[in-house]
Amino acid sequence: MNEDIVVTGMGIITGLGYGKKQTLEALRLQHSGIGKINYLQTIHADYPVSEVKMSDNEMRNFLKIPSEKIITRTPLLGIMALNEAINEARFDKNEARKIAFINGTTVGGMEKSEQYYPEFINTEHYIENHDCGSSSEAIAEYFGNFDMITTISTACSSAANAIVLGANLLKTERVDVAIVGGTECLSKFHLNGFNTLMILDKAACRPFDATRTGLNLGEGAAYLVLEKASNAQQRNIKPLCKLSGYANTCDAYHQTASSPDGQGAYLAMQNALYESQLKPEDIDYINAHGTGTENNDLSEGTAIMRIFKDTIPPVSSTKPFTGHTTSAAGSVESIISILALQHDFIPANLNFNHPMPELSFQPVKENITKKLQHVLTNSFGFGGNDTTCIFSKIE
Amino acid sequence: MEALILELKKEIIEVLNLEELTPEDINEDAPLFVEGLGLDSIDALELIVLMEKNYGIKLNNAAEGRDIFKSVRIMAEYIAKNRTK
Amino acid sequence: MNINIASYCRLTNHKLEVNDIDIQIQKTEASSLNDIYRHLNLSYPKFFKMDNLSKAGFLASELLLKNIIIDKETPKKDMAIVLMNRSASLDNDRTYQTTIQDENNFFPSPSVFVYTLSNIVNGEIAIRNKIMGESSFYISENFSPEKIYSAVMNTFSDPNINQVICGWVDYEFNECDVLLLLIRKENQEKIPFNVNNIYHLYT
C-alpha cells in the first residue's frame, strides 16, 4: 500500500511542438509557442495565444484516422500526446492488467459545436461530440483496452487532479496502471469568457512581474503513465521518476479569484510536502501555476513565501512558453517539471523584468543548470480548486 | 438626472441579480463596493458590460471602473457626460 | 472503523427529502430553486448570482449540513467535496452562448462565464462553509453508485480527510436531479456507506 508510485511514460503536444524532445529543445532555446492566432477563427485576433502548430487534418493524417470518422480537435490533441506516452511505457496489448484512463478537459468538443452551431441541422454530427466525456471516449477508443475511463472537469486543475485520482486508484489497488492527464483546444467560448473577465493580456504574459496584466491562453495535451514500482519492475521497464506526494484542497474564497493570503495554495503545498515526507528546503525547483494575472501571482507568491520562508527554491512559470493550457496545464507542466528533473535544467520564467514589491523572491530569468532531486508543481483552478504534485528522482 | 439614477438602480439590480432589493433600498450616494452593497470583482465586470451595452461607453480595464463605480450618483453623472446611446 | 452516511438530501423537481423528512413546498408551475431558497429563510444574497446547477447543489448542501455545520466560519480542512454529474455545466453554458451568439449584440457576460465550469458548485459550497479539503468533480454518463462509492473511498485514502460531501448534482432542461450525502468515519449506528444504500437513497 505504501509503495512508490512511478512514472513510466509521458507524452505531450503544445505550442512548443510535438513530443518531449521538441518541448525540451524549445525550453532550452527559449522559443515560446505564443504568437498570433492562426487556426482558431475569431474576431479576437489581437490576443496572443499558444496554438499547436498542426491543423486537425494534419493530426488526422499523422494518426491515420479515416476521413469519415468525426473527431474534434480536443481528442485529436489527446491522441497525439497519448500515443507518445503509451509507446514509451511499452504496453503489451495482451497483458492482463487493469488500466484506467483519466482525462481532464472542459472545452471538450465545443470548438466544433460553436463553429457549426448556426447550421448544425445541415452539417455533420458534431453535437454528439460536444460534451467532455465524448472527448475522453474518443481518445480511449483509438487505443482500446481501457478497463476504466473517466473525465475530470475542474477547470485549470483538471489534469493535475487526474494525476491525484490516478495515484489514489493505484494506492487502493483498484487498477494496475493509471494513464492520467488532460487535453484542451482553444475555443471562442473560453477565449471570449476569459476576455470578459478581463484577465487576458494583449502582450506576452509576464508571470511574477510587477507590470503583469493577464494571461495568454494556450492549447495542448499531456499524459503520464503511472504505476506502482513493483508493477514496473514486473514489466521490466525503467521508471522515469516517482510521484512522491500530491494534494488537492479548496481555497473557499471566491468563484474565480484566489484569496489574498493564498490559503488554498498554502494547504495544497503543505499537504503534498507532508505526504512526500519532504521538508520545504528539500524542494529544488517550483514550476508555478504563475498565470501572469495580478491576482494569481500575488496569491501564489504569498503562499510560497509562507511555506518556504528563507529557503525558497528557484521558481519559474512556464506559461510564457506554452500559454495557459487550462484543463491540460496540470499534466503539461508536470511533464515539463519531470524533464527539468531528468536533465538537471530549470527553464526560465520568460518576459520577467520587474520584481513584485510584495514578494521576497523573483522568478528565474535565465535557464539554470542545477542538480535537481525534487520538483514541485502547482495547478490552480476556478472554484478555488488547488492542486500540488511533487516528483522526485529515484535513488 | 433623477430619472437616470432610478433607471440605473433598476438595471444594476437586474444585471447583478440583486433579487432581494428594490430601487428604494439603494442609496445613490452610498459606496457600491466593499461596504454599501458589498459588490465584488465579477460585479464590477458586469457593470463594465452594462456601460457599453446600454450607454455605448467602453471602458478598457477594471481599474478605470473603480473611480466611476464609487456610487450610483457618480456612475450616473459619468454616464450623462459620456453616453453615446 | 465504520464509514457511514451521516446525512442526505434528495432534491428533484418533485421531491425534497432530508434524512427521511419530506419537506413540503408549495409546488406551483412557477415553483423553482428561488422558491426553495425563500422557503428555507436563508440569508445569503449571493445565491441569486448562481446558475441553476450551483443553486441546486447549494440548497441541497444547506439542508444536508443543517445542525451539523453550525459554525460556517472556521476552516474545515478535514472535509472534502466530491461530486458528479452527466451534463457538466451545459445548462449554464447555453445561457452564456446566448450572450455571444449574435454578432450585432455581442456582450459576453462575465458573471455567467464564471459558472461555465461544473466544479464551481463545489466552490460555492466550500465558500459558504469554509471547506478546505479535496474538491473534485467528475463527469459520468449515468448516475452510478459504484463510481460515487469508489471516488469517496479514494478520497478517504488521505488520512487527513474525515468527512466527505459527495453525490450527484445535475441540472439540465429544467430538470433538477440531486442526491447529496455527508459521509463520515465514525462508530455510531448510522446508515452504512455502501453501493446499495447510495442506490436506495437515489431511487
Indicate if the pLDDT at residue A78 is higher than 80: yes
The whole-number pLDDT of residue C28 equals 47
Indicate if the pLDDT at residue B31 is higher than 70: yes
CB-based burial of residue A258 (10 Å sphere; 0-12 exposed, 13-18 middle, 19+ buried)?
Answer: buried
Indicate if the pLDDT at residue C164 is higher than 90: yes
The whole-number pLDDT of residue C14 equals 87
Test C110 with B45 for CB contact under 8 angstroms: yes
For the record, the C-alpha cell of A1 comes out as 500500500
Classify B74 as helix, strand or coil: helix
Identify whether A174 is part of a domain: yes
- Residue A161, chain C, CB below 8 Å: the answer is yes
- Residue C139, chain A, CB below 8 Å: the answer is yes
For the record, the C-alpha cell of C155 comes out as 478520497
Who among B16, B20, B53 is closest to C107 (CB)?
B53
- Residue C48, chain B, CB below 8 Å: the answer is yes
Test A257 with B41 for CB contact under 8 angstroms: yes
Answer yes or no: are the C-beta atoms of A14 and A332 closer than 8 Å: yes
- Residue B14, chain C, CB below 8 Å: the answer is no
For chain A, first and last CA: distance in Å?
A: 20
Last residue of a domain, one of A199, A234, A269: A234
In sign, the C-alpha dihedral spanning A166, A170, A171, A173 is: positive
Residues of A within 8 A of C100 (CB-CB) are: 188-189, 192
Who among A133, A164, A250 is closest to C133 (CB)?
A250
Least confident interval from A243-247, A366-370, C20-24: C20-24
The whole-number pLDDT of residue A96 equals 58
Using CA atoms, how far apart are residues A82 and A86, in angstroms rounded to an integer?
A: 6
Using CA atoms, how far apart are residues C88 and A46, in angstroms rounded to an integer?
A: 31
ipTM surpasses 0.85:
yes
Who among C123, C139, C154 is closest to A255 (CB)?
C123
Inter-CA distances, C179 with A297, C35, C150, Å: 37, 19, 16
Test C45 with B19 for CB contact under 8 angstroms: yes
Segments of A139-258 assigned E as strands:
148-152, 177-184, 220-228, 241-250
Same domain assignment for residues A181 and A316: no
Highest-confidence range of A334-348, B21-35, C58-72, by mean pLDDT? Answer: A334-348
- Which pLDDT band, with edges at 50, 70 and 90, does B8 fall under? very high
The whole-number pLDDT of residue A117 equals 62
Test C45 with B46 for CB contact under 8 angstroms: no
- Residue C134, chain A, CB below 8 Å: the answer is yes
The whole-number pLDDT of residue B20 equals 87
Same domain assignment for residues A113 and A248: no
Helical pair C145-155 and C195-202, crossing angle rounded to 10 deg: 130
Identify whether A54 is part of a domain: yes
Using CA atoms, how far apart are residues C79 and C77, in angstroms rounded to an integer?
A: 6
Classify C8 as helix, strand or coil: strand
Optimal mutation site among A103, A161, A228, A255, interface C, most CBs of chain C within 10 A: A255
Q: What is the mean pLDDT of residues B30-43?
A: 84
| Distance from the A221 Cα atom to the nearest Cα atom in chain B, whole angstroms | 30
Inter-CA distances, A39 with A54, A184, A251, B31, Å: 9, 14, 35, 45
Least confident interval from A317-326, A364-373, A377-386: A377-386
Residues of C within 8 A of B16 (CB-CB) are: 49, 111
- Residue A46, chain B, CB below 8 Å: the answer is no
Neighbours of A, requiring at least 3 CB pairs below 8 Å, are B, C
User: Do β-strands C175-185 and C163-172 pair in parallel, antiparallel, or remain unpaired?
Assistant: antiparallel
Residue ranges of domains in chain C, CATH in brackets:
3-202 (3.40.47.10)
**Rg of chain C in Å (alpha carbons):** 17
Using CA atoms, how far apart are residues A372 and A369, in angstroms rounded to an integer?
A: 9
B61 or A363: which leads in pLDDT: A363
- pLDDT tens, position by position, A91-150: 765 565 888 999 998 877 777 777 766 655 455 556 666 667 778 888 888 888 788 888
Chain A contacts in chain C segment 93-122 (CB below 8 A): 93, 96-97, 100-101, 108-110, 113-120, 122
DSSP-assigned letters across all residues of B26-69: --TTS-SBSSTT-B-HHHHHHHHHHHHHHH-PPP-SHHHHHHHT
Q: Apex CA A190: angle with CA C98 and CA A178, to 5°? A: 125
| Residues found in chain C | 203
Using CA atoms, how far apart are residues A152 and A174, in angstroms rounded to an integer?
A: 18
| Distance from the C95 Cα atom to the nearest Cα atom in chain B, whole angstroms | 14
Same domain assignment for residues A277 and A200: no
Residues of C within 8 A of A247 (CB-CB) are: 134, 158
Q: Give the CATH number, domain containing residue A275.
A: 3.40.47.10
Provide the annotated active-site residues of A.
156, 289, 324
Classify A81 as helix, strand or coil: helix
Which residue is it, cell 501572469?
A292
Inter-CA distances, C149 with A44, A257, A329, C118, C128, Å: 44, 31, 28, 20, 25
Q: What is chain A's mean pLDDT, rounded?
A: 91
Give the DSSP letter of residue C90.
H
Q: Which domain holds residue A32?
A: 7-234
- Which pLDDT band, with edges at 50, 70 and 90, does A382 fall under? confident
Q: What is the mean pLDDT of residues A289-308?
A: 97
Inter-CA distances, A260 with A251, A271, A295, A392, C121, Å: 10, 20, 8, 30, 22
Last residue of a domain, one of A203, A234, A265: A234
Answer yes or no: are the C-beta atoms of A66 and A116 closer than 8 Å: no
Identify whether A239 is part of a domain: no
Chain A contacts in chain B segment 14-43 (CB below 8 A): 40-42
Using CA atoms, how far apart are residues C58 and C131, in angstroms rounded to an integer?
A: 13
- Residue A155, chain C, CB below 8 Å: the answer is yes
Residue type, A287: N
Test B17 with C49 for CB contact under 8 angstroms: yes
CB-based burial of residue B7 (10 Å sphere; 0-12 exposed, 13-18 middle, 19+ buried)?
Answer: middle
Identify whether A173 is part of a domain: yes
Same domain assignment for residues A208 and A261: no
- Residue A254, chain B, CB below 8 Å: the answer is yes
Same domain assignment for residues A177 and A260: no
Residues of B within 8 A of C123 (CB-CB) are: none
Identify whether A312 is part of a domain: yes
Last residue of a domain, one of A234, A268, A292: A234
Which residue is it, cell 506502482?
A228
Indicate if the pLDDT at residue A322 is higher than 60: yes
Indicate if the pLDDT at residue A33 is higher than 90: yes
Least confident interval from A1-5, A244-248, B27-31, C137-141: A1-5
Q: What is chain B's mean pLDDT, rounded?
A: 91
For the record, the C-alpha cell of A220 comes out as 495542448
Q: What is the CATH number of domain B2-82?
A: 1.10.1200.10
- Residue C159, chain B, CB below 8 Å: the answer is no
> What are the domain boundaries of chain B?
2-82
| Distance from the B30 Cα atom to the nearest Cα atom in chain C, whole angstroms | 18
Chain B contacts in chain C segment 98-117 (CB below 8 A): 107-111, 114
**Number of domains making up chain A:** 2
Least confident interval from A103-117, A228-242, B50-64, C89-103: A103-117
Neighbours of C, requiring at least 3 CB pairs below 8 Å, are A, B
Residues of A within 8 A of B53 (CB-CB) are: none
Q: What is the mean pLDDT of residues C135-147?
A: 92
Which residue is it, cell 480511449?
A140
The whole-number pLDDT of residue A141 equals 87
Which residue is it, cell 471516449?
A137
Q: Phi first, then psi: give them for residue A81, nearest 5 degrees.
A: -65, -45
Burial letters C23-43, b for 16+ CB under 10 A, else e: eeeeeeeeebbeebbeeeeee
**With helix as H, strand as E and coil as C, how does A324-365 read?**
ECHHHHHHHHHHHHHHHHHHCEECCCCCCCCECCCCCCCCCC
Inter-CA distances, C68 with A60, B64, C54, C71, C76, Å: 54, 44, 21, 9, 12
- pLDDT tens, position by position, C23-71: 876 554 445 899 999 988 898 989 999 999 999 999 999 999 998 888 8
Using CA atoms, how far apart are residues A156 and B76, in angstroms rounded to an integer?
A: 38
Residues of B within 8 A of C110 (CB-CB) are: 42, 45-46, 49
- Residue A248, chain C, CB below 8 Å: the answer is yes
- pLDDT tens, position by position, A210-230: 999 999 999 999 999 999 999
Q: Phi first, then psi: give them for residue A219, nearest 5 degrees.
A: -130, 160
Using CA atoms, how far apart are residues B39 and B23, in angstroms rounded to an integer?
A: 16
Using CA atoms, how far apart are residues A304 and A269, in angstroms rounded to an integer?
A: 8
| Distance from the C85 Cα atom to the nearest Cα atom in chain B, whole angstroms | 26
Residue type, A79: I
Same domain assignment for residues A223 and A345: no
Using CA atoms, how far apart are residues A217 and A145, in angstroms rounded to an integer?
A: 33
Same domain assignment for residues A176 and A302: no
Residues of B within 8 A of A256 (CB-CB) are: 42
Which residue is it, cell 503562499?
A303
Answer yes or no: are the C-beta atoms of A160 and A327 closer than 8 Å: no
Who among A192, A267, A275 is closest to C108 (CB)?
A192
Using CA atoms, how far apart are residues C57 and C54, in angstroms rounded to an integer?
A: 5
Residue type, A322: T
Classify A295 as helix, strand or coil: helix
Give the DSSP letter of residue C188.
S
By C-alpha distance, the chain C residue nearest B46 is C110
Question: Which of C175, C131, C135, C128 has the alpha carbon at shortest distance from C151?
Answer: C135
By C-alpha distance, the chain C residue nearest A115 is C101
By C-alpha distance, the chain C residue nearest A156 is C117
Answer yes or no: are the C-beta atoms of A181 and A163 closer than 8 Å: yes
CA B60 to mean position of chain CA atoms: 16
- The proportion of chain A whose per-residue pLDDT surpasses 90, expressed as a percent, equals 72
- pLDDT tens, position by position, A247-280: 999 888 888 889 999 999 999 999 999 999 999 9
Q: Phi first, then psi: give them for residue C178, nearest 5 degrees.
A: -130, 130
Q: What is the mean pLDDT of residues A165-190?
A: 93
Residues of B within 8 A of A254 (CB-CB) are: 40-41
- Residue B45, chain A, CB below 8 Å: the answer is yes
Which residue is it, cell 512548443?
A16
